Amino acid sequence: MKDKMLKLKEMIHEICDINSAIALLGWDQQTYMPRGGAEDRAFQTSTLSHISHIKSTSQELGTLIAELKNSLDGMAPDSDDACLIKVAAREYDKKTKVPAKFVAKFSELTAMAQTVWEEAREKSDFKIFQPYLEKIVAMQKEYASFFPPSAHVYDILLDDFEPGLKTADVKKIFGELRTTQVELIRAVSERKQINDSFMRQDFDEKKQWDFGVHVISAFGFDWSKGRQDKSAHPFTTGFGLGDTRITTRFLPDYLASSLFSSMHECGHALYEQGIDRKLDRTFLGTGASLAVHESQSRLWENIIGRSMDFWIHFYPELKKYFPSQLSGVSLQDFYRGINRVQPSLVRVESDEATYNLHVMLRFEIEIGLMEGTLDVKDLPEIWNVKMKEYLGVSPENDAEGVLQDVHWSYGSIGYFPTYTLGNLVSAQIWECLERDIPGLHENIRNGKFEEILQWLREKLHRHGSKFKPQELVKRVTGSEITPAPYLRYLDGKYKEIYGIV
C-alpha cells in the first residue's frame, strides 16, 4: 500500500510539473511575449498538453488508482492520501474519455486565439476573432460528446470549473438573485445619484502601482512567493505553491481599475499561498473550485476593500499619493463614490449591485451557444440587445461589448457562473468572520488583517482541493452555497449608502 501510494504521488508530481510549465508559458504569453511568438507558443503548449494528457491517461496510472481505491475503506476519509486517491480517480475518469489528439489540437487553437482576441479587442472588430471562436465552440461541443449524456450539455463544461454543480442549480440560484437585485437597482435609481467624478482624473500609473502594492502587502501577499505584472485582462496563475503570480491593468483616468484589480487578484493569490505545502505538486494543491476561489477575491476586493472600515485607515494614505486629485473629497464622499451603483458596459469595472447581471448575460449566451440556438456570428448583436435588456446600456463598439472578456479565447465556456457563485460564498464566509472574530471591524479600521488571513487559512485555504466545493463551503459556513447572506449584505450596504428606507 505504502509503495503504491508513493508511486502514485511520483506519477502525479510529473504531471503537475508539466502542467505548471504550460501555465508558465500562458503567463508569459499574456505579459511579456511578443505577439510574433504566438504561433511558436501554440505549438509549445500543444506539445506539452499532449504529453500531459498521455501521462494522465496511461494504463499504468489507471491500474494503480484502481488498486488504491480498494484500500480506501481502511483509510481516514479526510486524510490527504484518501482525498488524493479520490480526486485522482475522478480526474482519470474524465481525462480518459477525451482523446489526446483532441487535447493537443484544442490547446494549439486556444493559444492562437488568445493573441487573435487581443488584436480584435484593440481594433474593436469581432470579425477578426469570430472564426477562432466558432472553432472553439465547435470543439467544446465535441468535448461534451465524449461524456455520457447529462441533463444539459452545459453540465459537462460547468463541472470542469465547479465539480458537482448542475446547470439547473445555477439557473435556480440566478432566478432567486435576479428578482431581488433588480428591485434593489430600481430603488437605487430613484434616489439622487452619487458623484464619483473625482475618480475620473489623471492618476500617475507609478503611484497607482505603489499604492496597490502597499494595500496587498498589508493584506498579507507574500512577495517571496509571488509577483505582480501588467496584462490586458487581470488574472492569477501559479506554478506550484511557491510561485503564485498576479496581474493588474491601469486606466490613467480611472483610479479604481488597477486598485480593485490588484485587491481582487491578491485574494486569489492569498488562497494559493495558504494551501498546505504537503499538497504541492499534487492534484490537491490548488483551490477547490473557481467559485471558492472567487469567494476569496471578492471578499478582499469588495466586502473588505470597499468597506468604510477599510478606508478609515487607508484613505488618508491614498490622499498622500494623490493630494491634488482628492483635495476636498471627504472620506464619506470617497466611500460613497467607490460604491456608486451605475449600470455600466464593462463587467470588471461594474459595481456590486449590477455585477451579477453581467454574469447572467454571459451564462445565457453560453447556454445558447452550446444548445445551438445562438450562432457565433450573431454575438455582437445579441450581446448588445441583452445589455440593453439587463442593464439599460448599449456598447458603442465590440471592444466594450462582446470582446471585453478574454475567457472565450482560451476555451473557458462554463467559467462565468462561478463569478456570481463566488460572490455568494464570500458573503457566507463574511458572516462567519463577523461571528468568530470579535474585533473584526476594529482590526480593519486599523489596517490589521492578520486574524482574517489566519482564519481563512485554517478554515479554508490549507485544504486545497481535498473536498468538493459544496462540501468545503458547508464545512466552513455550515451551509452549501446559498444567495441569502449575499442578498442581506447588498441590501444592508446599499440601502444605507443611498438612504433607502
Q: What is the DSSP string of 247-293?
A: EE--BTTBHHHHHHHHHHHHHHHHHHHTS-GGGTTSTTSS-S-HHHH
Give the pLDDT score at 115: 92
Give the pLDDT score at 202: 96
| Annotation says 451 is catalytic | no
Q: How far apart are the first and last CA of the chain?
A: 64
Give the pLDDT score at 349: 85
Helix (H) or strand (E) holding 227: strand 226-230
CB 45, CB 105: distance < 8 Å: no
Distance CA 251, CA 307 (A): 22
Give the pLDDT score at 87: 98
399 is written with which cell numbers?
A: 471592444
Give 227's strand partners: 245
In terms of Cα–Cα distance, which of 150, 109, 181 is closest to 352? 181
Helix (H) or strand (E) holding 153: none
Distance CA 10, CA 465 (A): 19
Distance CA 231, CA 422 (A): 23
Give the pLDDT score at 1: 83
Distance CA 278, CA 276 (A): 5
Distance CA 10, CA 461 (A): 24
Give the pLDDT score at 257: 93
Among candidate residues 118, 162, 265, 294, the one labeled active-site is 265
Q: How far is CA 86 from CA 3, 14, 275, in A?
A: 18, 18, 19
- 167-498, CATH topology level: Neurolysin; domain 3 (1.10.1370)
Q: Which residues of the chain are under the pLDDT cut of 70?
A: none
Give the pLDDT score at 501: 82
Q: What is the b/e burial string over 304-338, where b = at least 16 CB atoms within 10 angstroms of the residue's CB?
A: bbbbbbbbbebbeebbebbeebbeebeeeebbbbb
Distance CA 298, CA 486 (A): 11
CB 284, CB 465: distance < 8 Å: yes
Q: Position of cell 499574456?
A: 30
Domain locations in the chain as residue ranges: 2-148, 167-498
> Residue 189: CB partners within 8 Å, gap ≥ 6?
none
